[in-house]
Every structure is written in C-alpha cells, then in structure tokens.
Amino acid sequence: MAIYVGILGGGNISETHARAASETGGVTVAAVAGPNAEKVRRLAERYGAAAYGETEALVRHRPLDVVLIGSPSGLHAQQGIEAARQGLHVLTEKPIDVTVARANELVAACDEAGVKLGVFFQDRFTPDFVALKAAIDEGALGRPLLASARVKWWRPPEYYSQSRWRGRRELDGGGALINQGIHTVDLLLWLLGDVRRVWARAVTALHRIDVEDTMVSTLEFASGALASFEATTAAYPGYPRQVELTGTEGTVVLQQDRILRADLRTPRPDLVGSEAGANPSASSPTVSDARGHKAALEDFLRAIREGAEPRCSGREGMRSLVLVEALYRSARTEAPVPLS
C-alpha cells in the first residue's frame, strides 16, 4: 500500500529522514515543514514535496499517513501530539522529548488516537548489534558482570554558537548526555536490561553552553552488573564510540557500529569480530549513512501494516529518557539516584 510521509524539520537529520523514506518502497515524501523557509524549500524541491512553515499546516496536508520528526528535541512531543490528533502515525528522532512528563503526554495522545509511535534508535537495527542481542538473550555472554561505554566525541564551538537550540536546556534538554550519548544509553538498556541506580557527575568543561559537555557516571543494572559510562563533546578530534560487555562467559567489544572482538568461552560464529571503519559521528553531527534510519522506518511501517509494535516503540524509547533524567538528577544532587 502507498504511504505518504511528512517531514518536520529542515536540517541535516531531516535530510536523512527524507533519504530513508525515498529509498523505501511504496513511500512518498509528501510534505516538509519547519521555521527555516530556505532549508524547507530546498528539501521539499529535492523530493517533490509541498513546503510549509508550520506544523499545523503539514499535519493537515493530504494525503498523509506518517510524520517523521527531526526538529529540536524539545518540540518532539508537542509536534507529535498535533500529528496524532490528525490521525497520523508518529516516528520521532531521539530523544522522544526532553522531559519524561512531556513524553508521557505524547504516548497518551498516540494511544488515544489509535496511531503508532516510534523512536529512531537505529542501533537496534545494526546487523552486528542484532546478532549480539540474540546471543545475549540465548545466554552466550553468561551472567552480565561489567560494562563500559565511552562516547568521546568532538563538536567545534560553532556547532553550538550557530544553532538556535543546541546546548540550550529548553530545546536540547541538556548536552552531551541527552544529545550525543543517548544512543549508547539506549543500546545498554536494550542489551543488558533495566538500570536500578545511577551516580553521575556532569560539568561544562570546554564549551560556552549552559548545559554539560562532559559527563561521567556509574550504572547499576537490575541484574547486578555495573557499568561506567562517559559522554563528551570536548574530546578533540573525536574518537569512535566504544562499548565493552563482560559476562561470566566472556567479553565482547563494540566499536562504532560493529563487533570488534568477541572473546567467549564458547565461540559464536555469528559474532565475528571486524575492524570498525571511520566514525563521522565522532566529529560531525551529519548522518551520512541513512541505512539505519531506513531500517527503522521499514520496521515502523511493518508495525502499521500488521497492527504490531515497532522494535522501538514510544514506551521503549522512553526508557532511555527516564535513565537520562535520573543521571541529570544525580549530577545535580551529587548523590546516587534509584530508578523505580
């Protein structure tokens, strides 16, 4: 069946959303909307879509079935609610919003309207990570013991100074944690399960912004496993994300979006270590590879067709935001914070 998609936002990630949609069979980019008229016009012309300045106008465009949200994080819930009230399915960029309270409102609005809600956490569709998730679920790692995750990225000063929303609490929700680190937070939750307590320290080490550019934290999982987690945008020139998972049956090392090593007592041929390539995300906000977003969109459309839940539904997407809020609370109070 034909699917008509609207794009909210005209920046780099909206271009990625448009590419992912245009490369998905049966999908047409029908409309684009955002406050930057020139960016919206260019994106709309590239994909033969209608151009609008306001969310309200886009969600009333017809035909339209799905809205992809790539606007500043603090607008995700508001715009998603407007779309849901018009009977449109909603697939939003991470994070689902910048507060759990507003995210809950979005989930409730989609439930009430009977539409699907999903979040772009494309790590859940990366082939190596999908294979690792299956292996962990089958017990290949044994009982999880220890994890470490490092997102030591670089963003130049103009990344913040030339943006109306990055590094600003109201629209970005925070800094290196909620913007850059949240993909890795979601990955840890997806692979290792719920977290029951956190400790965190956040500082603005380098950039002239009113939120953190560096955070160091400890996570205690419900399983009893411990993890250290670091996120920064002050690590020049930027380094590939690295995640190490250790269980009673061995250790797996992830770099960028691949398994670098899998040292298990019982080898798994489906977890073959491979050298990770360059990682543009470490030094650039531009998502040059749309395959992850395309896979997430295809899964979302499958959920619509089958009346099922997408792999990362709204409620799943909220798990990372709940953890992020707890980390920020711990950093503010300089005390451990339990997660109920």
pLDDT > 90: percent of the chain:
94
Q: 274-286: per-residue pLDDT in tens?
A: 555 555 787 777 7
Q: 159-169: per-residue pLDDT in tens?
A: 999 999 999 99
Would you give the distance in Å from CA 266 to the centre of its chain? 32
Q: 99-142: per-residue pLDDT in tens?
A: 999 999 999 999 999 999 999 999 999 999 999 999 999 999 99
- Of 143, 144, 140, nearest to 132 by C-alpha is 140
Radius of gyration of the chain (CA): 20
Which tokens go with 339?
Answer: 């997660």
Domain 3-115 has CATH 1.10.150.120: no
Q: Quick check: 8 pLDDT over 60? A: yes
For CATH 3.30.360.10, list the domain ranges present in the chain.
124-282+320-338
For CATH 3.40.50.720, list the domain ranges present in the chain.
3-115
Q: Quick check: 288 pLDDT over 90? A: no
Residue 56, phi then psi, degrees to nearest 5:
-55, -40
Distance in angstroms (rounded) separating the CA atoms of residues 73 and 34: 14
Residue 77: half-sphere exposure toward Cβ, Cα within 13 Å: 24
Q: Quick check: 292 pLDDT over 80? A: yes
Which tokens go with 303?
Answer: 């959920």
What's the whole-number mean pLDDT along residues 281-305?
A: 90
Q: 60-87: per-residue pLDDT in tens?
A: 999 999 999 999 999 999 999 999 999 9
How far apart, in Å, are the Cα atoms of 307 and each of 84, 116, 189, 282, 294? 16, 9, 25, 37, 20
CATH architecture of residue range(s) 124-282+320-338 = 2-Layer Sandwich (3.30)
Q: What is the chain's mean pLDDT, rounded? A: 96
Q: 14-57: per-residue pLDDT in tens?
A: 999 999 999 999 999 999 999 999 999 999 999 999 999 999 99
What pLDDT, on the 0 to 100 scale, is given for residue 274? 57
What pLDDT, on the 0 to 100 scale, is given for residue 38? 97
